[in-house]
């Protein structure tokens, strides 16, 4: 996976990757549609127009929604019905999506409806494309979704010039934002309100953002762990190829290989071999735990990229010649996303819990051989005592958030939706989980960096370690006395979140970390 230098233009219409989504949502890549995208959308819309004119009974097009699906709507009311749905469904509350999150949802809406099975007009999708390219981002509260409907309805209102939106980062009335961007509002026609609020688009978008950062965090965890391994005189037998070969999990072997590459050329590690028989499990089991976590994350990546390239609308407009029909089913079910993201939450927490233990080892003078809390004159100074408390608090939060949202079930729509997948909250919580993992790893990396102040002569670190420490040294001193640590933690966390940490290591090694 790429973490920096992502493409600056993404053309929708073929398979979309996780990196493509990040390029648009996070880094503002320009969006366009290819010919196939446009033709698929136009064909499905022609069928909806034809069937609406015929008075054909179709869920949410010529009928009401949910429990009201038995109420027939005549052709003259079809457009009003779509306006009504986005108005009355705009009931999510609380804190809004960030601009990045809302952009990701818009991309997923375009991908979902652009598969050619939703029956919306191309002009509607062109509006969301304009929003992405011209810096208009709908304001949408993110709390209170069961997987679809409410946040997406807030966003769809902006298409009509209602609600609120950000323009170039500033929040204003949607009508003002559209005017400032030179975008005309559009009235929704039959099927469109329903299609814009249906599907797993928001759950997939939030899950994708979180997963990208979690995978980056897992690879960063290998780097951070290697530096702690080096600082703690780790025994290389625990990560040797022979051990990996008799338990042939690919991600375990890849993790061990990452560690060996990062530690190559380390005089500190070489001189520590045979110093003791074996290390604590938080060092000895790095390949095993990190490998298991990465397998979970990479499994989720396959699932999310399948979902990203699916049509999750209802009803499905099936356009195959001779078999055209509107099929009422339930591709908006978010079980795939929910179960995967609940598993990812556990994986991220396991990475964090091992990181905290390695950090604890370095700051404990009885375990590390370094001065207490990696500071001279401990007592007068607390050194790196309290960052470990921060890790403990973050991990407690993460453990609480490991409760699986996907196992819950609260029926909606007076039991028309008697089972609800609840994948949205599973995805949403993982954004916070990814952030917390980054902070836990940043604190561990701060500790390994500070051990350099106590290196005995001649015990040089690996070239990769020195490269990383040189970068950290631009903002973080080797502490002689207590310092204000918040800024240092934030700086190191940003190295992880931005992908710079992984990038500099891969460039130094001239090889991709797996």
Query: What CATH architecture is 207-307+332-509?
Result: Up-down Bundle (1.20)
Rg (alpha carbons) of the chain, rounded to whole number: 26
* Annotated domain spans of the chain: 9-198, 207-307+332-509
Per residue in 423-463, pLDDT tens?
A: 999 999 999 999 999 999 999 999 999 999 887 555 689 99
Query: What CATH architecture is 9-198?
Result: Orthogonal Bundle (1.10)
The CA distance from 366 to 42, in Å, is 70
DSSP string, 252-320: HHHHHHHHHHHHTT-HHHHHHTTSSS---HHHHTHHHHHHHHHHHHHHHHHHHHHHHTS---SSEEE--
Identical fold at 9-198 and 207-307+332-509?
no
Pairing of strands 141-143, 30-33: unpaired
- Which residues does 514 contact at the CB level (< 8 Å), separation at least 6? 219, 251, 254, 255, 257, 258
pLDDT tens for the chain, residues 1 to 514 = 778 778 999 999 999 999 999 999 999 999 999 999 999 999 999 998 888 787 777 766 766 656 555 566 666 676 788 888 899 999 999 999 999 999 999 999 999 999 999 999 999 999 999 999 999 999 999 999 988 899 999 999 999 999 999 998 999 999 999 999 999 999 998 889 999 999 999 999 999 999 999 999 999 999 999 999 999 999 999 999 999 999 999 999 999 999 999 999 999 999 999 999 999 999 999 999 999 999 999 999 999 999 999 999 988 999 888 888 889 899 999 999 999 999 999 999 999 999 999 999 999 999 999 999 999 999 999 999 999 999 999 999 999 999 999 998 888 887 777 888 889 999 999 999 999 999 999 999 999 999 998 875 556 899 999 999 999 999 999 999 999 999 999 999 999 999 999 999 999 999 999 9
Smallest Cα–Cα separation from 40: which of 126, 111, 116, 121? 116
Q: Taking CA 53 as the corner, what is the angle to CA 47 and CA 55, rounded to the nearest 5 degrees? A: 100
Pairing of strands 141-143, 170-173: unpaired
Q: Return the structure tokens found at 467.
A: 């490269």
The CA distance from 449 to 469, in Å, is 6
Pairing of strands 164-167, 136-138: antiparallel
Q: Looking at residue 64, what is its pLDDT?
A: 60
Q: Taking CA 208 as the corner, what is the angle to CA 507 and CA 43, rounded to the nearest 5 degrees? A: 115
Could you give the 3-state DSSP secondary structure of residue 46?
A: helix
Q: Return the structure tokens found at 126.
A: 């062109």
Q: No. of H helices and E strands in the chain?
A: 21, 9
């Amino acid at each position: 996976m790429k973490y920096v230098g992502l493409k600056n233009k993404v053309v929708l219409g073929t398979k979309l990757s996780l990196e493509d989504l990040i390029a648009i949502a996070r880094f503002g890549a320009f969006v366009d549609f290819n010919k196939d995208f446009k033709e698929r959308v136009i064909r499905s819309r022609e069928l909806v127009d034809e069937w609406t004119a015929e008075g054909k009974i179709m869920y949410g097009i010529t009928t009401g929604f949910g429990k009201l699906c038995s109420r027939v709507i005549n052709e003259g009311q079809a457009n009003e019905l779509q306006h009504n749905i986005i108005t009355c469904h705009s009931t999510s509350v609380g804190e809004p999506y960030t601009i990045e999150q809302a952009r990701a949802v818009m991309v997923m809406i375009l991908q979902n409806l652009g598969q050619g099975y939703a029956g919306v007009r191309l002009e509607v999708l062109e509006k969301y494309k304009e929003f992405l390219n011209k810096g208009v981002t709908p304001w949408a509260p993110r709390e209170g979704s069961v997987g679809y409907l409410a946040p997406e309805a807030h966003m769809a209102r902006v298409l009509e010039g209602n609600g609120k939106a950000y323009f170039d980062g500033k929040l204003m009335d949607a009508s003002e934002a559209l005017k400032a961007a030179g975008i005309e509002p559009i009235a929704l026609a039959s099927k469109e309100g329903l299609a814009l609020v249906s599907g797993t688009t928001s759950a997939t978008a939030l899950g994708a953002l979180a997963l990208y950062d979690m995978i980056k965090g897992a690879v960063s965890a290998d780097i951070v762990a290697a530096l702690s391994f080096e600082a703690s005189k780790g025994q290389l037998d625990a990560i040797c190829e022979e051990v990996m070969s008799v338990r042939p999990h690919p991600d375990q072997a890849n993790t061990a290989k990452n560690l060996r590459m990062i530690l190559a050329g380390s005089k500190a590690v070489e001189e520590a071999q045979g110093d003791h028989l074996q290390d604590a499990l938080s060092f000895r089991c790095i390949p095993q735990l990190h490998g298991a976590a990465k397998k979970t994350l990479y499994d989720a990546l396959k699932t999310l990229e399948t979902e990203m390239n699916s049509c999750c609308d209802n009803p499905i407009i099936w356009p195959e010649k001779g078999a055209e029909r509107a099929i009422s089913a339930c591709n908006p079910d978010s079980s795939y996303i929910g179960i995967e993201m609940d598993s990812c939450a556990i994986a991220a927490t396991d990475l964090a819990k091992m990181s905290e233990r390695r950090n604890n080892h370095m700051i404990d003078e009885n375990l590390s051989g370094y001065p207490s809390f990696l500071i001279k004159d401990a007592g007068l100074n607390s050194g790196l005592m309290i960052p470990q408390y921060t890790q403990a608090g973050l991990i407690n939060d993460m453990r609480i958030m490991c409760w699986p949202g996907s196992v819950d079930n609260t029926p909606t729509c007076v039991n028309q939706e008697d089972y609800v997948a609840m994948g949205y909250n599973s995805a949403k919580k993982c954004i916070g989980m990814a952030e917390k993992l980054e902070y836990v790893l940043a604190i561990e990396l701060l500790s390994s960096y500070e051990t350099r102040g106590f290196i005995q002569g001649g015990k040089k670190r690996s070239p990769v370690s020195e490269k990383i420490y040189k970068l950290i040294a631009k903002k973080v001193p080797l502490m002689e006395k207590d310092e204000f640590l918040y800024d240092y933690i934030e700086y190191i966390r940003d190295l992880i979140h931005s992908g710079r940490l992984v990038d500099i290591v891969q460039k130094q090694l001239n090889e991709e970390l797996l």
